Structure 1
Amino acid sequence: MQNVKQFIIRNKYKVSAIVLLLILYYFCLPKQLFKNPTSTVVTASNNELLGAIIAKDGQWRFPELDSVPTKFEHCILQFEDAHFYHHFGFNPISIGKALVENIKVQKVVRGGSTLTQQVVRLSRKNKQRSYIEKLKELVLATRLEFRYSKKRILNLYASHAPFGGNVVGLEMASWRYFGLQPHQLSWAESATLAVLPNAPSLIYPGKNQQKLKQKRNRLLKKLLNKKIIDQLTYELAIEEELPQKPYPLPQTALHFVQHLGQKNRGERIQSTIDSHLQRQVNYLAKRHYERQKQNEVYNLAVLVLDVETRKVLVYVGNSPTDTPHHKHVDNVISARSTGSVLKPLLYAQMLQSGDLLPTQLVADVPTEIAGYSPKNFNLTFDGAVPANQALTRSLNIPAVRMLQRYGLEKFRSDLQDYHINDITKSADYYGLSLILGGAEASLWDLCKTFTGYASIVNHFDITKYKYYQKEFVEPVYRKEDKIDLGKLQKNFQTIDAGSAYTTLQVLTEVNRPETDQAWKYYDSSQKIAWKTGTSFGNKDAWAIGTTPKYTVGVWVGNSDGEGRPDLTGVGSAAPLLFDVFDVLPKSDWFLEPFEDLIEENICKKSGCLALPICESEVKRIPKNGIRGKSCPYHQLVQVDKNEQFRVNSNCEPVSAIKSKPWFVLPPLMALYYQQNNSDYRPLPSFRSDCNELSSNKMDFIFPTKYKSTISLTKDISGQQSSIILKLTHSNQNTTVFWYLNDEFIQSTQNYHELSVQPKSGVYKVTVVDDFGNEVDRILEIKN
């Protein structure tokens, strides 16, 4: 040790110089050799290429390879650097031979560079060849050998070598010239690519075919001589044709690749996409597009999610349309009018809050709320309809009335909890039209929401009746990503399992497309909870369905927002939805969450909690259903022995009076209800000798609001139009008397309609029946 110190002291300048040189040698090689931008490469879950996006510098340069295929490794080593595994960055013999040849001809004709040196040269942007540059490459090559293994250096070369045009790297060259992944190349194909980096500007597929073939065959002959391949392989290889034209890159999930490229530029992403399933759905989407474009509908989108993992399995952002019809628009993430797709969420929330029971009657009558008059799709009225049927039939008026009853602000807050990101405005901005498509949402968010419902029901039994905090989590698209559902807790966060299950169960009864009407009669058919939606003006057609394993969402329409008359959810989107479910593995239905449901006696006719006088049945309902109201439509009435008239003790002996439960709807509801329910029996009238006043026996059909403003129009002849006042009465034989500003106009019987043609002004319309019952309305007439 003492001798070493003395040597350093005596030779301090030499030692300092050596140390300085070593430091310079250590730091002479940049930490990152290649800083070139790379292409965005997206693969399926099985690593099959789905598509790629060109690098920012206009080069097709894939991210670095993890490994080099054995065939290409043999080919490149025999062609470029046979002693690669035996030298330390440079080959003195090759350099000596190159010097001799270059001196003979007085110019550089041979480089003698090893693959390590070529990696250095590529990293230095292929600087002009000179002996000084060669010396620098040699020093850097030795330093590179210290840093990386031979396999890593070979990977760097294969990833950054030029292969002609704007093709860089083995992987891209393999796709470009043969339409294959590198490990799928034959010996002849590997040999062809091995000789290309040697002179990419001179030898290019489709040109200089003879030179390319000679180089390839010489390399194959060398492989034969080295006993790397056998005679038969050699003979078959030299007979293979050379590539004649570039192959296009796969575009299995074009819009998915573009979507990922916006956030992950230049990365290699192994996604969750199931490549086989993606191709199947691509075919179904193309076939459906060919049918839809006959109606001048050119765009669509399909999304398939795995309920358990939230992984994106299929992502079809658009149809295989053309540029004039906006083929580049990604309709999975584009916000569109929701149509009726939000109705199940309102139904579920009302079940959960106790504001509604599953089969409770809701009003379906002419409605005007703050100037807003919703209409059913078929422009008819049911009078009263069970809430579950109103949902499966997608009736608009019951949905609007339910939303008003539940609370617009409250429902808007619920949608925020579902993380439907495009619904950003206040409740007042949307108004009651929110439930009919007044807001916009993406297919991505709607599928996420339906998946959350399915997952809540799935987890309820697995977790022993507990809830995860974050069931409405964003789906994942990277294979390595896992969802975070948060902590388990006793109380639900957004919707309880009983309400979610009941809603999904109801959605299995939605009428399927005409081609699938008999699904219930086949043992192989699976239950699917699904809902359609059609936006105002027939601009958007939706169909979203879920099973315990998969959620499928379909949007059909025109990306530019043009509506088409026959564009509907059930006719345009639903057929594709069920085609997609047909190629998915079948699954059993959800387990019923018994612990989150209670048994109650439910009135068969009204769907409300049963009174003692109701004909009832025991049904399982969400827990908060116990808060629901008792049946308001059954009452005990006193009738004669023939049940023809109502009577009382003033006109009939008590012994002859029968007390009978009677199902009675309010007049306006009854008017339309009895048109669709032939078994509905109106409340009998009092016998003529039993005069009795009764309230709430009549109601206006038009106008429905107490105060209304009406603007009169003129017909074709220029005459001012009339106003048709309409009334309904529970007693069909009653005469009613009409008054306008307390002046008698006329009386009506059986059908109570009156045509008036008043001038501009404010009027009071009063109607009185035989029993003295009175109703009135205030009208403001504008001409």
Structure 2
Amino acid sequence: MYRLIKYLKRHKIKSLVIFILVIAYYFCLPKQLFKDPTATVITSNSNELLGALIADDGQWRFPVSDSVPDKFKTCILQFEDEYYYKHPGFNPVSIFKALKGNISSGSVKRGGSTITQQVIRLSRKGQSRSYLEKIKELVLATRLEFRLSKDEILNLYTSYAPFGGNVVGIDAASWRYYNRNAFDLSWAESATLAVLPNAPSLIYPGKNQKRLLDKRNRLLKKLYNNGTIDQLTYELSITEGLPQKPYPLPQIAPHLLQKVALKHKGQRIKTTVKSSLQQQTNSIVKQHYNRLKQNEIYNISVLVLDVNTREVLTYVGNSPTDNAHQKSVDIIDKPRSTGSILKPFLYAAMLDAGDLLPNTLVADVPTQFGSYQPENYNQTYDGAVFANEALSRSLNVPTVRMLQEFGLDRFYHYLKQLQLKDLKYNANHYGLSLVLGGAESNLWDLCKSYAAMSSTLNHFNANSSQYFSNEFCQPIYNSQQTIDFGTLSNEKEVFDAASIFLTFESMKQVNRPESDESWEYYDSSQEIAWKTGTSFGFRDAWAIGTTKDYVVGVWVGNADGEGRPGLVGVQTAAPILFDVFDVLPKNDWFAQPYDEMLEVTICKKSGYRASSICDDTEMRYIQTSGQKTEPCPFHKLVHLDVSEMYQVNSSCEAVSNIKNKSWFILPPLQAYYFKTKNPFYKPLPPYRNDCLESTGISMEFIYPNQQTTIFLPKDFDGNTNDLILKVAHSKPELEIHWYIDSEYIGSTKDIHDMAVLPTSGDHIITVMDELGNELKHKITISD
């Protein structure tokens, strides 16, 4: 150390020069060698290429890979730099031979550059091939050898070497010239690509084919001579043809590629997509698109999620349509009218809140809320229907009545917890139509919500009846990400497990498309909880289904919002849904969450908890919160004579002769429609003539019902048609008298229908039965 210090003091200028040269050498190499834009590349979960977007400079240049295929590595080293792993970045022997040959020829005929030097040359674009430039490359090459390993330098070279035209790098070249992964190339194919960086112009189809073939075969001969390949491989390899017209790159998931490019432009992203499932779904979508386009329905999107990992397994953003029909639009994340697809959330919310039991009877009668009058799809009414059947049949009127009873704000609060991002306005903006398509959502959010419900149920059964705090998280498509479901607790995040299970049990009963309508009779069929939706004007058709492990969501329609006859969820979206489920692995049904349920006695006829007078009961499991629901309100204890043909009381019959019997009685308006669908419904027997009738008489308008303004249609002759007034009476055999504005217009008995032709303006309709019970209704007749 003393001698060194003494030397430095004695040779200050020389030491300073050396120090400056060392510093200059250390910093001479740019921190980032290549700044060229790269293509955005996505691969499947098994590293199969799904698609790529060309780089901004128009070059097919893939991001640097982490390894070089063995065959290509052997070929490129044998052709370009045999002593690559032995030299320090430059090869003195090669340089000497090149210098000697160039001097003797009087021009630059041979370079003698190593692969490391070529990496430097590729990074220093546009530099002249002079001896000075060669010296700079040599210095920078040695510096690069200090910074990177030999394998890393080779990766750079194979990623940025030119392969003809706008193809850069071995990854892009293997797909453009051979339509497959570089790791799957044969010896002949690898040798062909290995000779291209040295003379990339040889690849142009129809030109230089003889020269390219000779160079390739010389390289194969060299591999055979040094024992890399055997004689049979060599003989077969030299018979292989050369690539001709470049292949287009795969576009298996083009809309997912667009989505990835928004956040990861120029990167290579390994996605969660299963390539085989994606391609099968693409084929299914194409098949249905070819059929649907005959009806001018052009757009389809499909999303498949893994419930347990929340990974995207299939992403079909649109059908293989044309640019005139928005082929490039990714509809999966676009807001569309929901139709009936939100109904299961209302059903689950009411179960969760303890406001409903699965089989509770709900009214299905003509209903009007202000100016809003919901109608069932088939424009008929059942009078009363079980809640789970109203869901499985997607009946609008019972659903809206359930929403009105549950509370619009309460339901809206549940929807906000589901994090539906297109629900941008307050509850009053949507009104009661919220549950029938008055709001918008997208396939991504809806599938996410159904997957979260399924996962909640799975986790509850697998984790000692506890809930995760982050079930309703966003799905992932990047395989480098994992879902954090949060922490376990006894508190549910949105819906409890029992409410979810009972909702899925109801959704399982939805009538399937014609091709699957007898699914329960086949052992190969699987149980699926699913729901369809159709927006107003036949603009959007939905179908979303879930099993224990998978969620499949389908949207069908036109991206520009044009409605089409027949664009109905069960007819267009549902067949696609079940075709996709058919190619997914089959799995068992959800386990019942007994810890969130209790077994109670249920009235079979009403679905309510059985009261003491319910005569037909059964034991059923309900959600724990359901124990606060009221007992059956439809069973009444009536007093009959011994023949059970008449009602009696103590005014006309001895108490010892009176038979007390439980009777199922619906309100008059519900009973009016219910008995048309249920022939075994028995109205109450009349009172015997000698009895004094006490109470229990009721009437309701069937039409007009809660309606104030009525438009009277005209026939082909221009004559105004009559207005048909209808009333339901709990004792139809009683005579009813009709009045309009206190003017008597007639009487009816048994069937209480009255045809009138009122003038334009406001009127009061009054009906009075022979016992003096009165009912009034105000209407407005408009021309």
**Under a length normalisation based on structure 1, what TM-score does the superposition of the two structures give?**
0.97
2:657 equivalent in structure 1: 656
1:339 equivalent in structure 2: 339
1:132 equivalent in structure 2: 132
Answer yes or no: is 1:174 the counterpart of 2:151. no
Q: 1:448 to 1:203 in 2, by over 3 A?
A: closer
Q: Secondary structure in 2 aligned to 1:139?
A: helix
Q: 1:607 to 1:153 in 2, by over 3 A?
A: same
Matches within 5 A, 1:726-765: 726-765=726-765
Q: 1:445 to 1:107 in 2, by over 3 A?
A: same
User: What code does the residue aligned with 1:76 have?
Assistant: I
User: What code does the residue aligned with 2:452 have?
Assistant: G
Give deviations 1:352-389, integer Å, cap 9, x for gaps. 11111110000000011121111111110000000011
1:599 equivalent in structure 2: 599
User: What code does the residue aligned with 2:642 have?
Assistant: K
Answer yes or no: is 1:412 the counterpart of 2:386. no
> Shift in Å at residue 289 of structure 1?
2.1
CA distance in 2 between counterparts of 1:767 and 1:207 reads 97
Give deviations 1:646-679, integer Å, cap 9, x for gaps. 1221122222222111111110000000001111
Answer yes or no: is 1:319 the counterpart of 2:319. yes
> Shift in Å at residue 323 of structure 1?
2.1
1:558 equivalent in structure 2: 558
> Shift in Å at residue 229 of structure 1?
2.1
1:692 equivalent in structure 2: 693
> Shift in Å at residue 773 of structure 1?
0.7
Determine if contact 2:651/2:692 at 8 Å carries over to the other structure.
Answer: no
> Shift in Å at residue 50 of structure 1?
0.7
Structure 1 outlier segments of 4+, above 6 Å: none
Q: Could you list the runs of 5+ residues in structure 1 that have no partner in the other structure?
A: none
Matches within 5 A, 1:380-529: 380-529=380-529
> Shift in Å at residue 60 of structure 1?
0.9
> Shift in Å at residue 291 of structure 1?
2.5
CA distance in 2 between counterparts of 1:202 and 1:109 reads 18
Percent of aligned positions with the same letter in both sequences?
58
Determine if contact 1:530/1:543 at 8 Å carries over to the other structure.
Answer: yes
User: What code does the residue aligned with 2:286 have?
Assistant: K
Determine if contact 1:203/1:211 at 8 Å carries over to the other structure.
Answer: no
Give deviations 1:63-118, integer Å, cap 9, x for gaps. 10211112111211222112211211112222222223323333322221111111
CA distance in 2 between counterparts of 1:163 and 1:755 reads 87
Answer yes or no: is 1:647 the counterpart of 2:648. yes
1:293 equivalent in structure 2: 293
1:272 equivalent in structure 2: 272
Determine if contact 1:43/1:49 at 8 Å carries over to the other structure.
Answer: yes
Determine if contact 1:666/1:696 at 8 Å carries over to the other structure.
Answer: no
Determine if contact 1:206/1:245 at 8 Å carries over to the other structure.
Answer: no
Matches within 5 A, 1:142-157: 142-157=142-157
Answer yes or no: is 1:255 the counterpart of 2:255. yes
> Shift in Å at residue 695 of structure 1?
4.9
Determine if contact 1:205/1:242 at 8 Å carries over to the other structure.
Answer: no
CA distance in 2 between counterparts of 1:745 and 1:127 reads 105
1:630 equivalent in structure 2: 631
CA distance in 2 between counterparts of 1:777 and 1:671 reads 19
Determine if contact 1:336/1:540 at 8 Å carries over to the other structure.
Answer: yes
Determine if contact 2:202/2:212 at 8 Å carries over to the other structure.
Answer: no
CA distance in 1 between counterparts of 2:684 and 2:452 reads 46
CA distance in 2 between counterparts of 1:458 and 1:44 reads 27
CA distance in 2 between counterparts of 1:246 and 1:110 reads 30
Give deviations 1:167-211, integer Å, cap 9, x for gaps. 110100010001111111111111111111112235424422112
Give deviations 1:237-276, integer Å, cap 9, x for gaps. 1111001111111122222222212221111111111112
Q: Secondary structure in 2 aligned to 1:390?
A: helix
> Shift in Å at residue 292 of structure 1?
2.2
Give deviations 1:310-337, integer Å, cap 9, x for gaps. 1111112222222222221222222221
Answer yes or no: is 1:535 the counterpart of 2:526. no
User: What code does the residue aligned with 2:118 have?
Assistant: Q
**Under a length normalisation based on structure 2, what TM-score does the superposition of the two structures give?**
0.97
CA distance in 1 between counterparts of 2:39 and 2:86 reads 34
Give deviations 1:393-442, integer Å, cap 9, x for gaps. 11110011011111111111111111111122211111111111111111
CA distance in 1 between counterparts of 2:601 and 2:509 reads 23
Q: Secondary structure in 2 aligned to 1:410?
A: helix
Q: Secondary structure in 2 aligned to 1:724?
A: strand
> Shift in Å at residue 596 of structure 1?
0.1
Q: Could you list the runs of 5+ residues in structure 2 that have no partner in the other structure?
A: none
Determine if contact 1:695/1:773 at 8 Å carries over to the other structure.
Answer: no
1:118 equivalent in structure 2: 118
CA distance in 1 between counterparts of 2:207 and 2:780 reads 85
CA distance in 1 between counterparts of 2:521 and 2:230 reads 62
CA distance in 2 between counterparts of 1:226 and 1:110 reads 24
> Shift in Å at residue 602 of structure 1?
1.3
Moved more, 295-304 or 770-779: 295-304
1:772 equivalent in structure 2: 772
CA distance in 1 between counterparts of 2:744 and 2:479 reads 79
Q: Secondary structure in 1 aligned to 2:85?
A: helix
1:676 equivalent in structure 2: 677
Give deviations 1:736-781, integer Å, cap 9, x for gaps. 1111222222111222222333333322111100111111011233
Give deviations 1:705-764, integer Å, cap 9, x for gaps. 2x7133445444333444322111121211111112222221112222223333333221
Determine if contact 1:693/1:771 at 8 Å carries over to the other structure.
Answer: no
Determine if contact 1:423/1:440 at 8 Å carries over to the other structure.
Answer: yes
User: What code does the residue aligned with 2:167 have?
Assistant: V
1:701 equivalent in structure 2: 702
Answer yes or no: is 1:43 the counterpart of 2:49. no
Moved more, 755-764 or 395-404: 755-764
2:234 equivalent in structure 1: 234
1:97 equivalent in structure 2: 97
Q: Secondary structure in 2 aligned to 1:725?
A: strand
1:212 equivalent in structure 2: 212
CA distance in 1 between counterparts of 2:365 and 2:708 reads 17
Q: How many residues end up aligned between the 2 structures?
A: 782
Q: 1:739 to 1:694 in 2, by over 3 A?
A: farther
CA distance in 2 between counterparts of 1:635 and 1:782 reads 43
> Shift in Å at residue 624 of structure 1?
1.0
Q: Secondary structure in 2 aligned to 1:745?
A: strand
